[in-house]
Structure formats: structure tokens, C-alpha cells
Amino acid sequence: MKQSNKKGKYQTFIGLEVHIHLITESKVFCGCKNVFGSEPNTNVCPVCMGYPGVLPSLNKEAVKKAYQVAMALNCHLNEKAVFERKNYFYPDMPKNYQISQFEFPFGIDGYFDLELADGSTRKIRIHDVHLEEDAGKMIHEGSQSKLDYNRAGTPLLEIVTEPDLVTGEEAEAFVQQFRQMVRYLGVTDGNMEEGSLRCDANVSINEFGKGLGTKTECKNLNSSRFIKKALEYEIKRHTKVINSGEKIIQETRLWDEAASRTSSMRTKESSNDYRYFPEPDLPPYWPEADFLEEVKNSLVELPRLRRDRFIKEYGINLQQALFLSSEKEIADFFETTIELRKNDKSFAGTAASWLGGNVQKILNDSGLKIEDSSLSPKRLLSILNMIETDKISTGIGKKVLGLVFEQNKEPEDIVKDLGLDEGPDESEVVKIVSEIVDANPKVADAVREGADKQIGFLMGQVMKATSGKANPGRTQKLIREKIFK
């Protein structure tokens, strides 16, 4: 069901074409390495450079990942998939055509449940999911344009939505949620800065009930924020043009972030302009039942389902569940920690708080991902167990956590080597408590009158005096004994 643009008198239609680089060792139709950041034109061969007489060979891993996405998007899987030549002349495509899919892609007629800002969801229809090869990259330096063909032939999966989105904000949310999904599947790293996830956005407006208007395309948007801004600009521009009595020109436009506007790139082609015809060097692909079952079994629990399960199964709050389910690696880390604790679900809140707080702060400051750090579920659990059994204080636990990241050592060894578990003698703590309570009579009186939170101040003073080594539970007991004796 089409939604209306509540601002103004026109109905808005937005459709997205999302492109993702698939994670494979080699390119989609040849054996060249599929890696980012190599020296220009080092990962090339006669096949991806389009030399005469060469033959493409289909990458099975790319096909598997393509079907994973199609299944996750609830697509109907075609009985056969056909590769076709999409003909166009452009310097970044050396053979002057692109091997793609048109009439028979891997998946069609799917949907994606988009979670909206108000918490509701709406089905965004997926037109198709098709596999193709990426083009090379043009690098503009002054008056020169250089070409790097390392990217030519990279497996590129394109996901085309129906024009069911109505605002730039919705389009931004779709890309963010879709990116999270495909990263969970492990089919792409989704790095928009490096171009492994890119988006073209098509937008049109029309009077209510009259269907689609003349569309314009915003090309190669590499940030979800840019998608939102470009579409908002185009919707306003379309409205202004139509209100002035002029007509929208079907064209491709580029987003200029510095000027906060779009500019015309070229008139928009139609599918007929590309003269699609079946790729003569690649036979139709017929997915076998065993292969499809293998793909189905490889699918993982997706972010929204995992988030909801975390809340129900572990009793954590929504914000904790949103954070933990945001990245598969963090979600896996959390659940492994709970499993090592013999599935003690009452411990989940503590683990979630540390992961979302102290651990995430260190990761943010260091620029590390949790899977690349020296922290493991076993090490985090060790720290939390030592705190729980009063072997170390929470403050010492935070210090040990930082040292685990820095030194890549076991928490128990760090505590032992630095003597962090050797607290002061009982008699020394009693003496310190007595001195601090005597030095703060007003605070002691407030506690006697029921201001129990004031004990926290006295606890802080004792911890400061003992460099955080005093046992917190025992210290609080000694403070109460001193005040109420």
C-alpha cells in the first residue's frame, strides 16, 4: 500500500537500488583476488579486462551468498537464473558491457520489514535480487582521469526495491537496517566509505491517485545520511518544478555534499537502452535442491529476531538489547559469556551493562572491533566473577579490563602480578573507616536519619584512602557498624 507524503499536496514514491560487494576470495567471473586497497591495476587478468576470446567462469561462493540474501528477503527463487550482457560504453568497463541479470535474476517478489521511527513496521516490496560484476574505478586528479580496474569483476549484488518508501528518513532507515542484516549474514562488510555498499535512489512525486510521476535518480550515494539529504532535496525540487508549471526531466543526478544539492549528470536510460541479451559464454544456472537446502541451513538469526529474543530470554531492557544485537559479533560475544556462566540468565544484565559501557568505551577509544581485540568472553567473565566474589572491587575490575586490552594477558595473572587482590589488613580498614566517619559527622547523622545514599560518599572516601583495594561489601558493613554502634 502506497503511503502519502504528509507534507504538501503530492504523493511521493521512492525506490532504492542497493549494491553490495560480496565477500569472496576471487572475483565473480575470474580467479583474480577480490580485495580492497591493493596497488592500482594489480588484481586484473584478461577476463576482467575484457580481452577478446576469454571465457568467464561463475564463482560458486558468490552465488551462495546471493541466494542467502534472496532468502533473507523472502524472495521467490526462480527455477533458473540467466546472466545477460548489459551493453554500455564507459571507460570504467573495459569490455563495454557488464555481465548482469535482467529477465531471470536469482530472486524476485520479496519483502523487507522496515521498522519505522514510531516502532511500527511496514513491508517494503523487493522487486528483485540479481548478481553482476562491478565496474572499475575512475580517479580524477586535476585535469587527468585515471582508471583502476582492480574493482572490475568484483561480485556485486544488487537489491532493487519497489517504490514503497515515501521520505528520505525512511530511505535512510531502510539502508541502515538492510546493512545490519547483510553484515549479520556475513556476505559483505557493508563499508560505505570503501564502496562495498552503495545506493542509487529513484524518486518521483505526483498528485494523489495518479500513480508514479517522472523519476530522477540520485547516483552512488555512499552514506545513509546523504541518501536522506539528497532525497529531501529532490522532493522539494520536484515540488517546486511542478508547481511552476514545468515538467520533471528523467535524469541521473549527483549529490554535492559541499553545496547541499543535487546536480544533473546525464539523462536517465531505460532498460531498452542497454540492449540486454543472454550471455553466450555462461549457461543458465539451475539451483539444485541440495544447494538450496545448504543455503537455507546457513542462514542465521537476524538482528530484529535476536533483539526480541534477548529481551524475552534474558530479561534485559530494550536499549541493552538494541546495542547487543547491533552487530553479530557483539551478540555472539554476549551469548558465549552467558553460556560459560552455565547459562546463568540472572547474570545477563551484568554482562550486558559491561559490554555496553566499559567494554564499548575502550573499543570506541581504540578503534578496535571486539572480534579483533584481546578480550574474550572467558576473560570478561573472569573479571566479573572476581568482582562478584569480592576478590577485586569494581574500580579494580575496570582497571584490569583496560590492561587485558593493552597487555593481552589473563585477568587473574594481571591481578596477581600487580598485587591488585591484596587488600589492606582488616585492622587498617577499621582504622580508616573510623577516621573517615569521625571526620564527617554531618554525613553520619544524615545516614542515621535515613539518608542511606550518603553511605556512598563515605565508601568513596575509604576506597580513595585504600587505592580501591578495600573489599566493598566488608567496607560498607564496617561503616554501618561505626555509625550505628
> Per-domain residue ranges for the chain?
10-294, 301-418, 426-484
Most confident range (mean pLDDT) of 68-82, 421-435, 447-461 is 68-82
Dist. CA 443–CA 446, nearest whole Å: 5
Average pLDDT, the chain: 93
Residue 310 near residue 316 (C-beta atoms within 8 A)? yes
Determine which helix (DSSP H) or strand (DSSP E) holds 66, and give its type and residue range.
helix 60-72
Cα first-last separation, the chain: 73
- Cβ neighbours of 412 (radius 10 Å): 16
Beta-carbon contacts of 451 under 8 Å, excluding residues fewer than 6 positions away, are: none
Residue 174 near residue 111 (C-beta atoms within 8 A)? no
pLDDT of residue 269: 65
Percent of the chain predicted with pLDDT > 90: 80
Residue 223 near residue 255 (C-beta atoms within 8 A)? no
Residue 130 near residue 106 (C-beta atoms within 8 A)? yes
Q: pLDDT tens digits, residue range 366-415?
A: 999 999 999 999 999 999 999 888 788 888 999 999 999 999 999 999 99
pLDDT of residue 79: 94
pLDDT class of 270 with cuts at 50, 70, 90:
low
Most confident range (mean pLDDT) of 45-49, 138-142, 445-449 is 45-49
Residue 253 near residue 264 (C-beta atoms within 8 A)? yes
Q: pLDDT tens digits, residue range 318-341?
A: 999 999 999 999 999 999 999 999
Name the burial class of residue 473, with classes exposed (0-12), middle (13-18) and buried (19+) by CB atoms within 10 angstroms of its CB.
exposed
Determine which of 4-8, 122-126, 156-160, 433-437 has the lowest per-residue pLDDT on average. 4-8
Dist. CA 24–CA 88, nearest whole Å: 26
pLDDT of residue 272: 75
pLDDT of residue 209 exceeding 80, the answer is yes
pLDDT of residue 1 exceeding 50, the answer is no
Q: 346: which DSSP letter?
A: G
**CA nearest neighbour of 114 among 178, 187, 201:** 178
Instruction: Tell me phi and psi for residue 424, to 5 degrees.
Output: -65, 160
pLDDT class of 475 with cuts at 50, 70, 90:
confident
Q: pLDDT tens digits, residue range 349-375?
A: 999 999 999 999 999 999 999 999 999
User: What is the rounded radius of gyration, in angstroms, for the C-alpha atoms of the chain?
Assistant: 29
215: its cell numbers: 523519476
| Domain 426-484 annotated CATH 1.10.10.410 | yes
Mean pLDDT throughout 216-228?
92
Mean pLDDT throughout 110-135?
96
- Cβ neighbours of 55 (radius 10 Å): 10
- The pTM of this model reads 0.85
Name the pairing type of β-strands 251-256 and 216-221: parallel
Q: 165: which DSSP letter?
A: B
- Cβ neighbours of 82 (radius 10 Å): 17
Beta-carbon contacts of 204 under 8 Å, excluding residues fewer than 6 positions away, are: 12, 13, 163, 212, 213, 214, 215, 216, 238, 248
Dist. CA 174–CA 318, nearest whole Å: 20
pLDDT of residue 201 exceeding 90, the answer is yes
pLDDT of residue 3 exceeding 70, the answer is no
339: its cell numbers: 553460556
